Structure 1
């Protein structure tokens, strides 16, 4: 496949509480959020963005994730793993050139080490933090997802590498957006027909965050979180990009899902 396309996919969902997503809101009400990931097909080799949940949680969530399941309970089938979904689109996993990580939280690391020829692109700050997280963040990092032998890593360095153009043709550009995690990055995807789409990932969980009506239920830095949203809003306005937030159960259904695509 040589056409430039963006596929939007989902590796199940997470059951949690409203306050886990929208700080100090919901009065303990139940909430269920989608776990998106993305595939870009490209003549220079394909890219997976994040990969969602690791497929292992479909059969043994607590055994794989541990106590974090008391807060975020995954709902997932084995055929919703990223490799199975890529194959279902008729794409050979060997043709995936990059696995690009927004950050290394457990619901974003499902593609790491699953694609044999891939280079894994992540912010150096995030990679280093994932091995030594602060006490309040430790449950969100599943070390066996990213601490794997033989992986090829490409590290980006915050503001120095901001707006890194992965293919060199403007198709996929990284946008450093810390706050939710110390090394979080979002992505601007420019497509020939559909135009630009801004994947905020967890810099803005929901449109409430995007519209500055709520803080996310989990963050590493409140100030960085707020300023990253402001940065992304400016980018969206200047580029005319369609905004895709990270885990919004109300906004996500409106987007075209695989096997449909944006081109």
Structure 2
């Protein structure tokens, strides 16, 4: 690791290659085998028990004297899917839909957590077509200037948590090598193991993250120790996919979806993308998270849903 916010591009002078999420369907079809199934199985084994414990605790009570907790919504790239059936197999073939890409800065009195890092800022505003024409990607509002606008530099981020390691979520991760990485065991084994490409991960997009600095999780994790910011396991989209629960005093409880769903219609129909790592694990995670949302009275913010995310106020405004 060369240091916080320092990236080594000498060996990679061209635009970023999006070989992760967008090659996942191809690689999984050829390479999914015993290794992935074992990893997904380990992740899934922790899911039901962890969420049952959380759901049974009931809503946490935040006293008026509790120090402020803020969530900043950040724009992290633009996505157009040119064939929606990739997300809804057997339906919507040839239909295009505008999506988005979002990240979140959680400012807690005990530290700062960055949730996802979006598409690599170097991609720029000109759309790039990937995944055999399936997606168009671009970046019109880079991540780091948005953080600077709210007074946060990369070395002030204490914790980095990626919902998963596909490169539309890990694209700017190399700027945050000094943060403690919060990652599920199954995702860690896949991302930092010998063959990350088999899981749709591009190791270059997170090369500056140190496995030694990672806090490897075995299910639910209370980030700051007061119950207000919790990582919940939700495997299936990737081996160790996770979502984030946040208890906000004024806004109420919210859950950041990662790629549990990509848009509201997919949630309503419970469709599973064709490139997910494990369909059965995905459906189990959907059921568990939906039960959790109902038990806690929480709102789900679907990170790729253009209409929903556009309706939220973005940084420098915040939710508390």
Call closer, same or farther: CA 1:24–1:249 in 2, change over 3 Å: farther
**Which residue of the other structure, out of 77, 86, 89, is the alignment partner of 1:23?**
89
* TM-score normalised per structure 2: 0.71
Matched, 1:76 2:139: yes
Cα RMSD (Å): 2.4
Residue pair 1:24, 1:217 contacting (<8 A) in 2 also: no
Q: Name whichever structure is richer in strand by fraction.
A: 1
The answer to which structure, 1 or 2, has the higher relative contact order (CA under 8 A, 6+ apart) is: 2
Residue pair 2:107, 2:113 contacting (<8 A) in 1 also: yes
**Which residue of the other structure, out of 304, 307, 316, is the alignment partner of 1:250?**
307
Q: How far is the alpha carbon of 1:219 from its aligned partner?
A: 0.9
Matched, 1:39 2:113: no
Q: Which structure's CA Rg is the greater one?
A: 2
Q: Distance in 1 between matches of 2:226 and 2:144?
A: 26
Structure 1 counterpart of 2:280 = 223
**Which residue of the other structure, out of 180, 192, 209, is the alignment partner of 1:119?**
180
Residue pair 2:173, 2:209 contacting (<8 A) in 1 also: no
Matched, 1:210 2:297: no
**Which residue of the other structure, out of 242, 257, 270, is the alignment partner of 1:200?**
257
Q: How far is the alpha carbon of 1:155 from its aligned partner?
A: 1.1
Map 1:1-263 onto structure 2 (within 5 A).
3-16=68-81, 17-58=83-124, 68=131, 70-77=133-140, 80-115=141-176, 117-130=178-191, 131=193, 132-133=195-196, 137-138=199-200, 141-148=201-208, 150=210, 152-157=213-218, 162-263=219-320
Q: Distance in 2 between matches of 1:12 and 1:112?
A: 14
- Unmatched 5+ stretches in structure 1: none
Further displaced range: 126-135 or 249-258: 126-135
Call closer, same or farther: CA 1:86–1:134 in 2, change over 3 Å: closer
Q: Deviations over 1:111-163 (max 9, x none)?
A: 4231353111111211222352575x53xx22101233656211112xxxx22
Q: Distance in 1 between matches of 2:156 and 2:132?
A: 33
Q: How far is the alpha carbon of 1:72 from its aligned partner?
A: 2.6
Q: Distance in 1 between matches of 2:126 and 2:263?
A: 28
- Unmatched 5+ stretches in structure 2: 1-66
Q: Distance in 1 between matches of 2:295 and 2:101?
A: 28
Q: Distance in 1 between matches of 2:170 and 2:235?
A: 17
SS of residue paired to 2:265: helix
